[in-house]
Amino acid sequence: MARVVFVLNGEHREFDVDLAAMPYQHHGRPGSLLDVALNVGVPLEHVCGGNCACTTCHVVVRSGAQHLSEMEDDEADRLDTAWDVTPQSRLACRAVVRGDVECEIPVYTRNYVEEGGGLRLGRRG
Closest CA to 12 of 102, 95, 101: 102
Regarding 65 and contact with ligand FES (CB under 6 A), the answer is no
The residue (of 48 and 113) whose beta carbon lies closer to ligand FES is: 48
Regarding 60 and contact with ligand FES (CB under 6 A), the answer is no
How far are the Cα atoms of 11, 103, 105, 106, 115 from residue 62, in angstroms, in the given order? 14, 5, 10, 12, 25
Residue type, 59: V
The span of 35-43, 49-57, 98-106, 109-117 binding ligand FES (CB under 6 A) equals 49-57
Q: Which SS3 state, helix, strand or coil, does residue 103 take?
A: strand
The residue (of 16 and 74) whose beta carbon lies closer to ligand FES is: 74
Regarding 93 and contact with ligand FES (CB under 6 A), the answer is yes
Regarding 52 and contact with ligand FES (CB under 6 A), the answer is yes
